[in-house]
Amino acid sequence: MTNEMPLVTSKEMLIKATNEGYGVGAFNANNMELVQAVIETADEMKAPVILQVSQGAIKYAGLEFATMMVKVAAELASIPVVLHLDHGTDFLQNVLCLRAGFTSLMYDGSAEPLQQNIAISRKITEIAHACGIPVECELGKIPKIEDNLTEEQVSNLMANPEAAEKFVEETQCDSLAAAIGSVHGMKEDIQPLDIGRLDEIRRRTNVPIVLHGSSGVLRTRKDAEEKGIRLKDHEGTVEDAIKHGVAKINVATELSLTFIRAMHAQLEKTPGEKDMRKILLPAKDAVKTRVREYIELFGCAGKAEVAGASGLSASEIKYHE
């Protein structure tokens, strides 16, 4: 039986999260089992959730399939679900997703010169806002592990707080993917974040902040201690980032790795298996366990009934408290 819960936009959901000091998980929807694992877990925990589709996933599944998977999942759930475009790197991709019914967009202009990034971001926010859809934009560059950068190079790519103020004002973006030290695609959670920079960006802007590349970021201070990683004064973990106002936390790599590892384990256990579902089901269950851990870490369990439901009045962000 369906609860007929339609997709919601990320606007109120993220403002609410910012104001109340928790994070919303944004998990990448790469196949049916992943979508089901995320939605079922979020539903069980009464957590608002964002399912995001990257350009790679669109290429893999096709835009129609990617869209419908998330829409159907949302209709079957009793929690608010957002269908978000992850790293749309051009204007056209954003328009296509807007037309396909995405309820949240992202333009990633980090490969462009700043003025070009601002100009395209603004163009997209203008048409998306006309349709009531919010847009996340990226400032600084959140690199990939494959870029093989040094610590110093990662640091040089981080978002400049002063530029962030101007960027948010000029682009009219609804949330900001600010580079604060994370790196996409890391297989281990060992990277610290620049919390001092995050504070400065928060002071100068008035939109929810998005953390990318979270799979590679230290989750808690306790984790850092256990791993023998000493944090500098201005550095922190995912837990700290949420306390300091990060509202949307993207997780892709860790779910993919969890899925693959569980599939490998099952294949080894039952090498002659001819029913693929018996290989995929343990992988889905392993992802559910991981999503549960993240939702607990983000503090968004039980926040479903208020976060992002239509008609919600939380349209303004509270700042400088």
CB of 250 to Zn ion, least distance (A): 5
- Is residue 69 within 8 Å of residue 35, measured between CB atoms? yes
User: Which strands sit side by side in the sheet containing 24-28, from one edge to the other?
Assistant: 81-86, 49-54, 24-28, 246-251, 209-211, 175-178, 135-139, 105-107
Alpha-carbon distance values, 183 to 53, 106, 191 (Å): 19, 18, 8
Distances (CA, A) of 304 to 42, 69, 134: 9, 20, 19
Q: Catalytic pick from 86, 174, 189, 240?
A: 86
Name the residue with tokens 């039952």. Answer: 270
Considering beta carbons, is residue 104 or 266 the nearer one to Zn ion?
104
Give the pair of three-digit tokens for residue 94: 């954003």
Which one among 11, 16, 71, 212 touches Zn ion, defined by CB under 5 A?
212
86 noted as active-site residue: yes
The site that binds Zn ion (CB under 5 A) totals a number of residues, namely 1
Q: Tell whether the torsion through CA atoms of 181, 205, 103 and 299 is positive or negative.
A: positive
- Closer to Zn ion by CB, 253 or 266: give it: 253
Side-chain-side CA neighbours of 320 within 13 Å: the count stands at 4
CB of 27 to Zn ion, least distance (A): 12
Binding window for Zn ion (CB under 5 A); candidates: 112-120, 204-212, 289-297, 311-319 = 204-212
Nearer to Zn ion, 75 or 112 (CB): 112
Min separation Cβ 115 and Zn ion, Å: 22
> Which of residues 27 and 79 has its CB atom nearest to Zn ion in the complex?
27
Three-state DSSP state, 135: strand
| In the complex, least distance from residue 106 CB atom to Zn ion, rounded to whole angstroms | 8
Residue whose tokens read 């603004």? 122
290 binds Zn ion (CB under 5 A): no
Binding window for Zn ion (CB under 5 A); candidates: 33-41, 212-220, 236-244, 253-261: 212-220
Eight-class DSSP state of 104 = B
The strand pairing partners of 49, in sequence order, are 81
Piece of the chain touching Zn ion by CB under 5 A; list 41-49, 158-166, 208-216, 240-248: 208-216
Q: State the residues that interact with Zn ion by CB under 5 A.
A: 212
| Positions marked active-site | 86
